[in-house]
């Protein structure tokens, strides 16, 4: 049986296979965007798992191995990971759980087959179980990026992330208009576009318009030189496959299946060869002492042609998919059995976790990896700058702010120079990780000047140099903020 015949007979398996290829490409994009993995054993394992699913995307077992390896790798680096990577971990958990639930449901499928009833394959069940929840998670992410931006400082052109990021892109790409007259259109336009995309994603009929808007918007954002933004776009492009109409998905998977084996091999060799060439060039640049921005630019140049190819494939699928429904045997979009429906409800835990995670700043919990990147949001110290939502402060981590005045540890230098405030929780994290035997920090906490010293018997010093519990250290992370008499700066 040819690859095309297999896809025709089991469209769900073809969809999961294409999604797996996109996940592998997204993983490689993360690797050329953030080079930390090269020095880590977990990073090398993720590389091997990525190549495995890229070369053999039809293996559900290989996909499960990759998902486990990816989650372990990024969690080992938490909490200092990008917002979208934290989100991706929860998405990967959703897909991994759907594979597990599909395995549990396999006995029921076998019983159906024994009685002569048609039942979906393992891959179809897994894809159908995960798809709606992964779409909900993506919509929640988008809505939080808008909600977090509804603050007074985002509407302040002097510090607004929308204005500063547009300025950076205009300085990087000739021909993009830039000037005082673009500030308010940029602020309002950013909010309207980021709100329109998830709203369009909600209804099936409007999803194609949301996809076209999202593709154009995020390709433009990817031009920004800040490290990791094109990595975010790469992740979104992977999830966009789930939002394509059924006919468009099957048009893509059937075209991939119809491609001669030699063509698929050549495509994979070009992608893998380009990936390793990029990593090699980044390694050379790093050895020459080039800054991260240069390494990031090398990765972006390598990623852009592939991103344009994916964007073009999606657009073609939107155009030709509905006209060629006869080319693909469409599968149902939802699970076929009551057992699958019951199992699928268990996956609600992941959208709920994403909802809680995005709400963290307003609950008094963490302020990073809460989808508040580039939003100007400030909820600390009981002085939220949000236009609508207050900080209900169920937890008090954000209330205990510290100003660092001096330290013999270089990791505190930026705080000393900037005058930024930072929660006591982060001071304790930094102090407990200090490699200086006689580490000393002079700071102001709650109006009182403290001198924290390693080995000092004072309550504050003992607390500052004691590591946090493992779980709290993994999930709680706070950014620094400007003093309250100044607008909140734009930061990731």
Q: Which 3 state secondary structure label does DSSP give 133? A: helix
pLDDT digit string, tens, across residues 378-425: 999 888 999 998 888 889 899 999 999 999 999 999 899 999 999 999
Q: What is the pTM of this model?
A: 0.91
What local confidence, expressed as pLDDT, does residue 150 receive? 96
Rounded average pLDDT over 164-174: 88
Q: What is the pLDDT of residue 173?
A: 82
What is the rounded average pLDDT for all residues in the chain? 89
The pLDDT assigned to 102 comes to 87
pLDDT in tens, 271-306: 999 999 999 999 999 999 888 889 999 999 999 999
Q: Are strands 421-423 and 440-445 parallel, antiparallel or unpaired?
A: unpaired
Question: Averaged over 51-55, what is the pLDDT?
Answer: 96
Closest CA relative to residue 126, chosen from 253, 4, 17: 17
Peptide bond into 79 cis (omega under 30): yes
Long-range contacts of 70-74 (CB under 8 A, 24+ apart): 70/27, 70/46, 71/96, 72/42, 73/37, 73/40, 73/42, 73/43, 73/45, 73/46
The mean pLDDT value for 27-48 works out to 94
* pLDDT exceeds cutoff 50 at 443: yes
Q: For the residues 348-371, what does the mean pLDDT come to?
A: 95
Cα 91 from Cα 363, distance rounded (Å): 23
Count CB atoms within 10 A of the CB of residue 183.
18
Share of the chain above pLDDT 90, in %: 70
- Say whether pLDDT at 480 is over 80: yes
The C-alpha atoms of residue 74 and residue 80 are separated, in whole angstroms, by 9
Name residue 406's beta-bridge partners: 442
**Longest CA span, the chain:** 78
- pLDDT at residue 333, as a whole number: 42
What backbone torsions phi and psi does residue 452 show, to the nearest 5 degrees?
-95, 125
Residue 14 pLDDT grade (very low, low, confident, very high; cuts 50, 70, 90): confident
Stretch 63-85: mean pLDDT: 95
pLDDT at 323: 62
pLDDT interval class at 226 (50, 70, 90): confident
Q: Quick check: 245 pLDDT over 60?
A: yes
Q: Quick one: average pLDDT of 33-45?
A: 92
pLDDT tens profile 303-356? 999 999 999 999 999 998 876 544 434 333 444 456 566 777 889 999 999 999
pLDDT per position as a tens digit, 189-219? 999 999 999 999 999 999 999 999 999 999 9
How many Å apart are CA 316 and CA 323, to the nearest integer? 11
Q: Given this model, what pLDDT does residue 116 score? A: 46
Could you report how far apart the first and last alpha carbons of the chain are, in Å? Answer: 50
Query: Looking at residue 457, what is its pLDDT?
Result: 86
Q: Are 163 and 184 in contact (CB under 8 A)?
A: no
The model's pLDDT over 113-166, given as tens digits with 9 standing for 90+, comes to 554 444 557 888 889 899 999 999 999 999 999 999 999 999 999 999 999 999
Token pair belonging to 396: 């008090």
């Amino acid at each position: 049986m040819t690859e095309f015949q297999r896809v025709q007979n089991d469209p769900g398996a073809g969809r999961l296979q294409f999604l797996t290829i996109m996940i592998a490409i997204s993983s490689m994009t993360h690797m050329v965007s953030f080079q930390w993995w090269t020095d880590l054993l977990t990073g090398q394992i993720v590389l091997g798992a990525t190549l495995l699913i890229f070369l053999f995307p039809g293996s559900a077992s290989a996909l499960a191995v990759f998902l486990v390896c990816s989650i372990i790798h990024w969690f080992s680096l938490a909490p200092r990971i990008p917002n979208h990577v934290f989100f991706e971990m929860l998405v990967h958990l959703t897909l991994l759980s759907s594979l597990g639930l599909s395995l549990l449901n396999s006995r029921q499928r076998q019983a159906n087959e024994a009685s002569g009833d048609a039942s979906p394959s393992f891959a179809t069940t897994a894809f159908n179980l995960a798809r709606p929840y992964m779409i909900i998670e993506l919509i929640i992410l988008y809505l939080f990026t808008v909600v977090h931006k509804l603050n007074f400082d985002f509407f302040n052109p002097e510090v607004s992330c929308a204005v500063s990021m547009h300025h950076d892109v205009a300085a990087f790409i000739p021909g993009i208009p830039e000037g005082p007259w673009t500030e308010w259109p940029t602020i309002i336009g950013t909010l309207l576009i980021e709100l329109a995309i998830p709203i369009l994603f909600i209804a099936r009929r409007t999803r194609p318009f949301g996809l076209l808007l999202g593709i154009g918007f995020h390709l433009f954002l990817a031009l920004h030189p800040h490290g990791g933004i094109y990595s975010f776009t790469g992740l979104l492009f992977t999830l966009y496959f789930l939002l394509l109409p059924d006919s468009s998905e099957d048009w893509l998977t059937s075209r991939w299946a119809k491609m001669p084996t030699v063509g698929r091999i050549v495509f994979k060799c070009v992608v893998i060869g380009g990936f390793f060439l990029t990593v090699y060039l980044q390694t050379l640049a790093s050895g020459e002492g080039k800054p991260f921005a240069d390494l990031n630019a090398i990765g972006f140049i390598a990623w852009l042609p592939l991103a344009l190819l994916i964007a073009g494939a999606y657009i073609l699928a939107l155009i030709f998919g509905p006209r060629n429904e006869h080319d693909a045997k469409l599968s149902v979009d939802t699970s076929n059995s009551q057992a699958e429906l019951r199992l699928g409800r268990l996956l609600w835990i992941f959208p709920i976790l994403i909802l809680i995670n995005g709400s963290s700043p307003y609950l008094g919990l963490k302020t990073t990896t809460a989808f508040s990147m580039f939003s100007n949001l400030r909820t600390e110290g009981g002085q939220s700058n949000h236009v609508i939502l207050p900080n209900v402060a169920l937890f008090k981590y954000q209330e205990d702010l510290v100003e660092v005045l001096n330290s013999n540890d270089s990791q505190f230098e930026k705080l000393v120079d900037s005058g930024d405030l930072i929660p006591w929780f982060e001071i304790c994290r930094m102090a407990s990780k200090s490699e200086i035997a006689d580490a000393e920090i002079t700071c102001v906490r709650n109006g009182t000047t403290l001198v924290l010293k390693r080995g000092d018997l004072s309550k504050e010093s003992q607390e500052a140099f004691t590591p946090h519990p493992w779980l709290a250290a993994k999930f709680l992370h706070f950014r620094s903020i400007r003093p309250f008499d100044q607008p909140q700066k734009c930061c990731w």
